[in-house]
Amino acid sequence: MVYQPRARAPRKFGRRREMPKYGKPKAKAVGKKHRSRRSYMSEEKHVPTPEEVVDKTLNSLRILGKQVFAVSPFYEHFDRWLANLGEVLSKFESSPTISVDNQFVKERLQILSNIGLLLEERRREEVSRDEAVKNLSGNRILLSESKKNMLQRRKRFRGAETVRSTVCPALLTISERNWIV
């Protein structure tokens, strides 16, 4: 007799809950008991220490600093990036354990405005570069079309030259003679 293993049951076999015909699925009675116990319990919120707030902020700033935009044009991402930077700094300032003075606020505003100016300069450079690329590709298309037209004209003139040379070579004009090189 040969041993044949049984086929495995699907992962969620036996775990399927029937959805009621209308509305959300009803919670089990056991779940209700646990929820009611939790509501009576008082939960203490963890207030982060100043070191934790500083570490979290520095980590967020490192992540933003290392961020590389993969899809061109990159200037479309600058506004979102600058907003994320402002959000990280505002979370730092709004922490109850951190006291912010006027000097910090002035320096933050100055740094953010400098970053905004640098990003605007980059945006202008990228826009001008994109326009130059579009202009260059348009010129390449025009150049290839003009080459095709020139070749077609040469073929026509060479065909006309053979006909005219057999009939009368004096009928060719100076410009036609230049084209038949």
Q: Find where tokens 């100055």 sit.
A: 110
DSSP-assigned states of every residue in 99-142? ---HHHHHHHHHHHHHHHHHHHHHHHHHHHHHHHHHHHHHHHHH
Establish if 130 belongs to a structural domain. Answer: yes
With bands split at pLDDT 50, 70 and 90, how would you rate the model's confidence at 123?
very high
CA 118: distance to chain centroid?
Answer: 20
- Which pLDDT score is estimated for 157? 80
Establish if 28 belongs to a structural domain. Answer: no
Residue 122's domain comprises: 51-149
Domain count, the chain: 1
Establish if 85 belongs to a structural domain. Answer: yes
Question: Do 178 and 150 contact (CB within 8 A), yes or no?
Answer: no
Establish if 14 belongs to a structural domain. Answer: no
Distance CA 165, CA 30 (A): 106
Distance CA 56, CA 178 (A): 77
At 143-157, the pLDDT tens digits run 999 999 998 888 888
Question: Is 110 a residue whose pLDDT tops 90?
Answer: yes
Establish if 131 belongs to a structural domain. Answer: yes
Among 27, 46, 26, 24, residue whose Cα is nearest residue 36: 27
Establish if 142 belongs to a structural domain. Answer: yes
How high is the mean pLDDT of the chain?
A: 79
Handedness of CA 25, 30, 33, 37 (dihedral sign): negative
Q: Going by C-beta distance under 8 Å and a sequence separation of 6 or more, which residues neighbour residue 149? A: none
At 63-97, the pLDDT tens digits run 999 988 887 888 889 999 999 999 999 999 999 88
Establish if 31 belongs to a structural domain. Answer: no
- Which pLDDT score is estimated for 92? 92
Q: Which residue has the higher pLDDT, 120 or 14?
A: 120
Distance CA 84, CA 107 (A): 18
- Which pLDDT score is estimated for 156? 83
For the segment 16-33, the average pLDDT, to the nearest whole number, is: 57
Handedness of CA 163, 167, 168, 169 (dihedral sign): positive
Establish if 38 belongs to a structural domain. Answer: no
Question: Do 91 and 57 contact (CB within 8 A), yes or no?
Answer: yes
Cα dihedral 140, 146, 151, 155 in deg (nearest 10):
160
Question: Is 31 a residue whose pLDDT tops 60?
Answer: no
